[in-house]
Structure 1
Amino acid sequence: MARLLITGAGGPAGGSLGRQLQGTPHAVVGVDMEPLSLDAEARFDRTYVVPAATSPDFLPRLRDLVRREAIAVVIPTVQEELPILAGVADLVGARVVISPSEAVWRAQDKLITAWALEQSGVPTPRTCALVSSSEGGDHAVPSPPMAFPFIVKPRTSRGGRGVTVVDSAAEWTREVLERPGQVVQEFADGAEYAVQVYVPSGGDDVTSVVLEKTTLKQGRVGNAEAVRRVSPEEDADVAAVATDAVLALGLRGPLDVDVRRDGRGAPVVLEVNARFGANSAYAPELLARLLEEWNMTGADPGST
Structure 2
Amino acid sequence: MRILLTAIGKRVQLIKHLKKINYVVGVDSGDLAPAKFFVDSFFKVPPCNDKEYVNVILSICKNEKIDMLIPLYEKEFLILDSNRHKFKEVGTFLLLSDSSVLEICNDKWNTFNFFKENNINTPKTYLLEEIKENQNITISYPVIIKPRDGMGSRGIFYANNRDELLHTISSLSGYIIQEKVEGTEYTLDIFCDFDGQVISIVPRQRLEVRAGEVSKSKAVKDIRLIDVALNLVNKLNSSKGYKAIGPMNIQCIVDKNGEIKFIEINPRFGGGVPLSFEAGVDYGQILCDLISGKKIEPFIGGFEELTMLRFDDAVYIK
TM-score by length of 2: 0.82
- Counterparts of 1:150 and 1:5 in 2: how far apart (Å)? 39
Q: Which residue of 1 aligns with 2:236?
A: 249
User: Which of residues 27, 30, 39 is equivalent to 1:31?
Assistant: 27
Q: Which residue of 1 aligns with 2:299?
A: none
Alpha-carbon RMSD? 2.3
- Counterparts of 2:207 and 2:194 in 1: how far apart (Å)? 32
Q: Which residues of structure 1 form unaligned runs of 5+?
A: 134-138, 298-302
- Any runs of at least 4 consecutive aligned residues in structure 1 with deviations exceeding 4 A, and if so which? none
Q: CA deviation at 1:286?
A: 6.0
The reply on whether 1:225 has 2:215 as its aligned counterpart is yes
Q: CA deviation at 1:131?
A: 0.8
Deviates more, 1:181-190 or 1:203-212: 203-212
SS in 1 for 2:13: helix
Q: CA deviation at 1:141?
A: 7.0
SS in 1 for 2:39: coil
- Counterparts of 1:146 and 1:291 in 2: how far apart (Å)? 49
Q: CA deviation at 1:263?
A: 4.1
Q: CA deviation at 1:272?
A: 0.5
Q: Which residue of 1 aligns with 2:145?
A: 152
- Counterparts of 1:242 and 1:151 in 2: how far apart (Å)? 23
Q: Any residues of structure 2 matched to 1:273-288 within 5 Å, and which?
A: 273-284=266-277, 285=281, 287=283, 288=285
- Counterparts of 1:141 and 1:177 in 2: how far apart (Å)? 13
Q: Which residue of 2 aligns with 1:289?
A: 286
Output one character per residue of 1:178-221: Cα deviation in whole Å (capped at 9) or x when no partner: 22331111211101111100122333354110111111226xxx
- Counterparts of 1:252 and 1:183 in 2: how far apart (Å)? 27
- Distance change in 2, residues 1:289/1:23 (3 Å): closer
Q: Which residue of 1 aligns with 2:16?
A: 19
Q: CA deviation at 1:227?
A: 1.3
- Counterparts of 1:205 and 1:50 in 2: how far apart (Å)? 33
- Counterparts of 2:204 and 2:173 in 1: how far apart (Å)? 33
Q: Any residues of structure 2 matched to 1:127-276 within 5 Å, and which?
A: 127-131=125-129, 142-143=135-136, 145-217=138-210, 222-230=212-220, 232=221, 235-250=222-237, 251-276=244-269
Q: Greater relative contact order (Cα 8 A, min sep 6): structure 1 or 2?
A: 1
- Counterparts of 2:44 and 2:35 in 1: how far apart (Å)? 13
- Counterparts of 1:79 and 1:179 in 2: how far apart (Å)? 21
- Distance change in 2, residues 1:168/1:90 (3 Å): same
Q: Which residue of 1 aligns with 2:119?
A: 121
- Counterparts of 2:159 and 2:185 in 1: how far apart (Å)? 18
Percent of matched pairs sharing the same residue: 23
- Aligned partner letter, 1:290: L
Q: CA deviation at 1:144?
A: 5.1
- Counterparts of 1:58 and 1:291 in 2: how far apart (Å)? 27
- Counterparts of 1:286 and 1:260 in 2: how far apart (Å)? 26
- Distance change in 2, residues 1:278/1:131 (3 Å): same
- Aligned partner letter, 1:116: F
Q: CA deviation at 1:87?
A: 2.0
The 8 Å contact of residues 188 and 263 in structure 1, kept in 2 or not, is answered as: no
